Chain A
Amino acid sequence: MDASDLTIAPPPPGAPPGGDRCPGLDLLLGRRHDLLDAQEQAEVGAHLAACPACAAALEALEQALAAPDAAAPGARAAWPGLAARLDALDAAPPGPAVAVRLRCTYCKDATAHADVLYCASCLAPHHAECFAEHGACAAAGCEGRRVVGTAPRPARRPRWRGPLLGAALLAGGLAGAAALRPGPAAPAPAPVLAVAAPGPAPGSEHQLVRYDLRELLAAPDLPAPLVRNEPEWIVEARRVLAARKVTLNFADTPLREVVSFLQDITGLNVCLAATLDGERAIQLRLRDVSLSTALDLICEQAGARVAFRSESVLLEPPGAGPAAAPRHPGERLEPAAGLDPQGVVEEVRGAVAAALGDDAWDPPASITIKAGQLVVHHVPRAHAAVRAWLAALGAPALPGALAGAWFAPAAPGLDPATSRADAVARRLAERHVTLSFDQTPLLEAVAFLASATDVAIRIAAAAEERAARERTTVTLRLRDLSAGNALSLVVASDEALTWDLDRDGVLIRRTDAPGLEARLAEAARRAAGRSAEARAFDDEVARQLERRTLSADLDGVPLSEALTFLSDLSGLNIVVGRGVDPEARVRLVTGKTTLGAALDRLLVPLDLGLRLDGGVLVVVPGDGAVRGGAVAALSLPLRERPLGATVDGDLAALAARLEQVLGVHVHCSDRFRRARWRLRLPAGLSVQQALDLARGQAGVHHGWARLDGRAALALDAPGAAPPVTAALGLARASAWPDAPPAARAALDQARGRLRAALLALAAAAGAALGPCTDQVRAAHAELEDVLAGHAGLAPPRAMPRPGRGGEDPTEALLAERDRLHGRLSAVGPDAARERADLEAEAGRLEARLAALEADPALEPPEARSAADPAAGVDQADPDAVEDARWSDRVARAQVTRSALRERLTILRRRQARVDRDLALETARLRSQEAQLVERLAELLASVPFADARGALARGLPWGGVFEGGYAAWLEAEGRRSRQAIPRGLRALDDLGVRVARDGAAWRLEAVSGLGRALGLEPGDLLRGAGGPLAGGWPELLGRLGDPRAMGRARTLEVARGGTCRTLRLPLGAVEGRPRARLRGVAQGADGALRVTDPTAAGPRAGLRPGDRVARVDDLPADDLEAALDRYAAGARLRLVVLRDGGERTLEVVADGSTPAD
């Protein structure tokens, strides 16, 4: 311890005289605890020996610091508890000394030791598939490409072939034997599922199997999960082509280089067929278009087409090899929606749980989805269930044949060209199966049939859900039965399911799900919607041609440069098509003009036309017939061009008219020319509407076509499925907001024809198929419903009947009227507020104007300098300066002033407008209200009171019989909720009377409650309520239920024996508003008032202490608060007050209740 740390205490009384001062206590203690160096130790020791006081102090300190006795018994007491815990510790099974959880460096998911690969250079753990996907070690900074593993890995994803699937199904999932007869040994195509690394964990029958789901996940969204028949790489390539947007600029670039550029930016294998000229120059300048569009345009210039072959995107000459799927160049491929991976996991879980029981997924069973693979760790039976599930999902389709089986389902409306339904049906009839199912889950049974017949059997999602939920099982032994019959029997094990042929297979669906035709119609509708989108896109570009304006001064420049210039100016993609010389010199000198006109001027002299393709304008060779016209046709969307006079005749008449109106070539297909439909298109339609209607009447399709490089309108009448197309046409036609009545009439005719066609079809189908007539009829009824729904042709909804849960139109009208009242009362205050704002603004402006006028700074400087006595030789200059400043100020002030005046004028005008608007709005609302009241009266007189009339018809009078009033009666009789009971009836109940019509008035049949308190008696006549009552129930209920009178006093005129009495009182409960209160007075126990606040409204209106309120209006007011409860806040009350033995009447406006009330 340093000397400076010593704390020096004053010498205590007993210190040795003349000696050193005593050391501090901490030094004394420090000596005990070896904290002092040797010298200090010696000094303090010497001091202690010499100074008894310090020695005593140290002893006292030690004593004070003495530790309490060691808690020996406490320690012993803890032993039994410890021993118990030690026992528990020893009893616990020895766990692994250290648990290390590995996480994959790439996907960060936990991974099992047995299932991991380590980077050979940094030992970072990876899933095998993650490493493969990343292609290298995913650890930061490590580029290792080799791995080490704990066990030899099998080759990645070897695909299991079909026979294996069958074997798996037979071995694991199905408790039965199956044999196929005479079934040609067709090679089964590769099924969805693949692969695995079956490595049974030691001591367990669980196996880890990976199922390849990638194709499933890329499948398009169909009614049921379905495998896309295209290989995965094509799907991926299409996706990339559709999704990637590119901006290109090729100027005389050889095709070879273009291709290698595409290869670089897409990462796809883009190749040139050997027969194509790689040196061909490509001229293309595109901005932000999809790769597929760009590729199409490149192909067009190169005279090639796109094919997907040998895992590459191949550009090949047309006519070489099998063609790729024909596709409109502008069509956009949707990114594959695919299945939801988590959904797949849940489905598989459910399927396995259905097969093995609810506890099937207890550990160590596990399921994950990773990199498109379903990784399942489970016992073989569960794997069998998974395979069955996958097979059900993606069983492949193969052709077959059918003849005369009794299960034959109808497949009408299927286009033989696109459908393989016949082949599937044949196969179902020809294939014979022998099978034995014992409590086999339905899905597994179906999967078996799918694999046994090579027919794609899809299960609609709803049906699948049902099968999984109901745990439907099949117990069936069949020998040598056609597959179709077997399928019928299997599906029949759940009566809610049925099956029918689909385009290329079989669909199992719920019986209440839409049938085939409905689905076809839906698909066609969607397709129509998509093409409408595409058309809208082209339309937009065409509109831009008319909207964009530019001026140009180009002379003797190459066409390609001129187009580049226009493209840059307009932001549209304009490219040079095939057969056009990009080097042709052009001249374009124009003032401000539209882009369309500029293009016309540019192209017409060169005899070129313009084509619109997927949003890209392509310059194409034209001929004299259409030059200029091509641009014009594109510039004007069809829907804006009028068709002209009525067309009445065959299809040729339509074609002729279109040619005449559009000025383009109209190409008619052979089918179109052969069709014998008669058209009647009323006058006043646009071309688009006419085409829609023609589709409805005759199934006419139209589209833009290219004919020898010219734009042309193509017309076709396929006629293959007239009802469906017709319905679609009708649906579109009926969607026009401005369809003329003549069109509507045509629509009705078409609808009649459609029905006739349907009936004929149904009859024909019924005659042909015999026993399944009912099914066909049901299907067509369904179809007709759908069509009617599409075309908006559903019969008008019947008036809702009470007791069937229908909505009450009366209540809707009442609600509407209440809403109107709300708006009416809001309009006034709103307008007043706006007006006040305007007034305030005007006031501010006027004040500023006045201030400006009175600003002393604006007075002429002469006035001030005249008052200024100082004058010198140099005054001239400052004066001039001052003058200049003054005139500047005045000029600015004048500007400000005129601006202010202008704003003031505008404000005044706005004020006037607000006033006018208010008046108009009020008038409009009032007239709306009047209409509503009229409709309400009609309704009340007819439908909703059917129950009342029914009661009358049964001899039950409206009043007088039922205890509890109208509301209770209605509630009991009509099963209506209390809220739905008209307010007028509730007012009558409130008054405690029941009424019956008696001549020009209403006779009181029964009186109770309030009515009796008011002195009413049965037999009295209710003559008026806010006006004479001459009408029926609607009038009475409308008056009594008037929401404007809610919570306010209203007058009732009651006559008895020739005298008429006027009652003034509020009726009905106050709803949704604060109730009335009188502040400043309180009613004592004896009924007398006390004044609590002389400044409040009550006392100011004249209420005094000691007053007793006898009546509020005509309401007895023994309990003032109860009487006030009937009024809304702000109501004007007429209080009859007893004071000094006399009565006096006071009027007061009620306050509102606070929430506490």
Chain B
Amino acid sequence: MPDPSDDDLIGRCLQARAAAGAAAAAGRAAFEGLYDRHAAPVLAFLVGLHRGDQEAARDALQETFLRFYTALPSFERGRPVRPWLHRIARNASLDAWKKVRARGGLEGDPADGAPAPQEAAAVREGAGLLRRAVLDLPPEERAVFLLRHDEGRTYEEAAEALGCSVRTAKYRMQAALARLAREAERLGLVEAARGR
């Protein structure tokens, strides 16, 4: 049996909402299916947004899916789920940051001052050398970059997820790439490669 589509799963969740017992359990299973399908990329996106702070990203992931669950009835059926999730994720991460800042914990954007994460990729020689620079990008640019580069989303999808226009998304991507290129030159990565 082919995997049910996102839309099917959402339909099951919604059906189970009103019911109890076995039907409710089935709805939960459907939601778990949605979670399994989308949690990993969303988490990766959130890790980026949280400058690599896995703990905070996991909290934000829970919050994202909780909101997703609550808001399912208002979801426009038939549309792709992922941009919507990204948007919720981004809002959740911004809210988490606001909460932290209200407690006087942090200054600056969601990531500033967060402990530098141990980047798993950074241990690999060569690979992921610029990831640190990615995490240092301004939040808007970082979000576009993560969606476009890591997730392979189109600009249209990224714009929808971030609540901006496609043009803005492209502009931010371009700015992000310019920064990264400068950082790469500063690190001497390219010269080394070209010299090879």
Contact = CB atoms under 8 A, between A and B. Distances in A.
Nearest to B154: A34
A59 B190 CA distance: 9
Given A26-B174, A74-B43, A85-B62, A13 B195 contact: yes
B65 A25 contact: no
B95 interface: no
Contacts of B187: 64
Interface residues of B, number: 54
Contacts of B180: 26, 29, 61, 65
B181 interface: yes
B12 interface: no
B149 A65 contact: yes
Interface stretch (B80-88, B97-105, B123-131): B123-131
Contacts of A90: 24
Interface in A22-79: 24-26, 29-30, 33-35, 53-54, 56-57, 59-61, 63-72, 74-79
Contact of B44 (A53, A67, A89): A67
Given A68-B120, A75-B61, A25 B39 contact: no
A67 B121 contact: yes
Contacts of B121: 66-69
B39 A64 contact: no
B195 A89 contact: no
B29 to A, nearest CB: 11
Given A26-B177, A30-B174, A68-B131, A85 B66 contact: yes
Contact of B195 (A12, A63, A75): A12
A737 interface: no
Nearest to B32: A79
Interface in B55-105: 57-58, 61-62, 65-66, 69-70
B54 interface: yes
Contacts of B31: 86
A187 interface: no
A90 B187 CA distance: 52
A953 interface: no
Given A53-B194, A65-B149, A68-B131, A60 B126 contact: yes
Contacts of B111: none
Contacts of A77: 58
Main SS of chain B's interface residues? helix
A71 B43 contact: yes
B140 to A, nearest CB: 16
Interface in A324-374: none
Nearest to A12: B194
A79 to B, nearest CB: 6
Contacts of A14: 194-195
A63 B190 CA distance: 11
A232 B174 CA distance: 78
Contacts of B170: 35
A151 interface: no
Nearest to A79: B35
A82 B189 contact: no
B196 to A, nearest CB: 6
B194 A56 contact: yes
A33 B169 CA distance: 12
A597 B71 CA distance: 93
B9 interface: no
Contacts of B28: 83, 86
A63 B36 CA distance: 28
B131 A75 contact: no
A1076 B184 CA distance: 76
Nearest to A82: B62
A25 B184 CA distance: 9
Given A64-B128, A66-B127, A76 B174 contact: no
Contacts of A850: none
Interface string A696-725: 000000000000000000000000000000
B134 interface: yes
B193 to A, nearest CB: 3
Interface in B122-165: 126-131, 134, 148-150, 155
Given A13-B195, A33-B177, A65-B130, A76 B39 contact: yes
A492 to B, nearest CB: 63
Given A29-B181, A57-B190, A68 B43 contact: no
A60 B119 contact: no
A61 B130 contact: yes
B66 A86 contact: yes
Given A53-B195, A60-B193, A65-B128, 12 more contacts: A14-B194, A29-B177, A56-B193, A64-B189, A65-B131, A67-B44, A70-B43, A72-B40, A76-B36, A77-B58, A85-B66, A86-B31
Interface of A: 1, 7, 12-14, 24-26, 29-30, 33-35, 53-54, 56-57, 59-61, 63-72, 74-79, 81-83, 85-86, 89-90
6 contacts: A29-B177, A33-B149, A71-B43, A71-B47, A74-B43, A82-B62
Closest 3 CB pairs of A and B: A60-B193, A68-B121, A25-B181
Interface of B: 24, 28, 31-32, 35-36, 39-44, 47, 54, 57-58, 61-62, 65-66, 69-70, 119-121, 126-131, 134, 148-150, 155, 170, 173-174, 177-178, 180-181, 184-185, 187, 189-196
